[in-house]
Structure 1
Amino acid sequence: MQPPSSPGPRRPPSRFGKLLRTVFAVLLVPLLLFEEWGWEPLAALAARLARLPLWARAEAWLRGLPPWGALLAFLLPVLLLLPVKVLALFLFSHGHAGSGVAVLVAAKLAGTAVVARIFQLVEGTLMRIPLFARWYPRWKAWKDRVLDLVRQSRPWRLVHAFNRRALRAWRRLRGA
């Protein structure tokens, strides 16, 4: 019996592959930046709801879920927000752009808060799913690399410096 052959050296990605990865990254960066900005504070806000007895019981129930139940609980808010996004599209199609944007922003904020909190509660359980345990660290490493590149870019640094100066000026005005 022959030993299995190794796949050999990995070929470098084609030009099309590089273009596809670049387009994917550029389209995903705004979402990644929002998630990065909002994940912790919105999860902390959602965690405050644990003071409510019903919410506390729901969190205890989530912590006790088996791995596939935890995955379903993690994905459920995404599915529940689809009708809200359809409502936003309906509003856009009927000339209510402001209302449509408001619905989308509210849905994104609420969805991020709930998903982030659920993830905090079930992350350990999700890591017991082999496929999740294999791909989540890869996703996180890729996301961190992309965000590091964005943060090192000249436009990001200029906007960040402008924001710091504007914040200092605002604090001086309020203090005066």
Structure 2
Amino acid sequence: MTLLHSLRRLLSAPLVYLAAIVLLGEDWLWRAGARLNALLARLAPLAALERRVAALGPRAAMALFLLPALALLPVKLLALLAIARGHSAWGVAVIVLAKLVGAAAVARLYTLTLPALRRLAWFAALLDWFLPRKAAWIARLRASPAWRRVARATAALRRPVAVLLKRLLRRLRLRLAARRRARHGP
């Protein structure tokens, strides 16, 4: 084994762990956001809005799809400014919240706008090029010992987080039902 090969392995190991953590987190956020959005889409005003979004043309769909990233960029920059000024807890909390909101919004917008976005030839070609490569990268990463270690470590967190989210969603449903009853009567 050459020195260059050893150095490469040593330097890439933390990146593999970081990639595993990021991909597991993104996957979890995507699924949680999709479930939350599906729950919220049952509300009549949001259902009507989603029908309008799904009916958009390709260019309008692309603009709307990019909106969460553009809208949250100033928020993230302000969070970094807060961190730089010594308010690290607030800054990190804002960045995490922006990531959660952004992932949920992008997940839903992707689902709603994908048929229109695929009508853009360059987008369809890029997606057709990227998705198989992403699947291959993820398959390669999942085969690594680092992935298995991170997956085992995060598996212990899934149950408590899922229970907490279910409780929060149940409270949200109860509050929405109470508001509906207060507005429209029993």
State if a TM-score over 0.5 links the two structures: yes
Choose from 94, 106, 109 the match for 1:118: 109
Is contact 1:32–1:143 with CA below 8 Å preserved after alignment? no
Is contact 1:44–1:117 with CA below 8 Å preserved after alignment? no
2:89 maps to 1:98: yes
Provide the TM-score with structure 1 as the length reference. 0.72
For the residue of structure 2 that corresponds to 1:95, the secondary structure is coil
> How many residues are paired up?
144
Alignment-derived partner of residue 28 in structure 2: 37
Structure 2 unaligned blocks of 5 or more: 1-7, 161-186
* Equivalent-residue separation in structure 2 for 1:85 and 1:163 (angstroms): 26
Choose from 149, 154, 164 the match for 2:140: 149
5 Å-filtered alignment, 1:22-171, equals: 26=15, 29=19, 31-163=22-154, 166=156
Please tell me the residue identity of whatever aligns with 1:137: D
Please tell me the residue identity of whatever aligns with 1:130: A
* Equivalent-residue separation in structure 1 for 2:92 and 2:47 (angstroms): 32
More helix by share: 2
Q: Structure 1 residues 31 and 158, CA, compared in 2 at 3 Å: closer, same or farther?
A: closer
Please tell me the residue identity of whatever aligns with 2:143: Q
Provide the TM-score with structure 2 as the length reference. 0.69
Structure 1 unaligned blocks of 5 or more: 1-18, 171-176
* Equivalent-residue separation in structure 2 for 1:81 and 1:70 (angstroms): 18
- % same residue: 41
Please tell me the residue identity of whatever aligns with 1:91: A
| Shift in Å, 1:87 | 1.6
* Equivalent-residue separation in structure 2 for 1:158 and 1:82 (angstroms): 33
| Shift in Å, 1:162 | 4.8
Q: Structure 1 residues 159 and 34, CA, compared in 2 at 3 Å: closer, same or farther?
A: closer
| Shift in Å, 1:71 | 0.8
RMSD of aligned alpha carbons: 2.4
* Equivalent-residue separation in structure 1 for 2:84 and 2:152 (angstroms): 38
* Equivalent-residue separation in structure 1 for 2:76 and 2:120 (angstroms): 30
| Shift in Å, 1:31 | 4.4
5 Å-filtered alignment, 1:10-21, equals: none
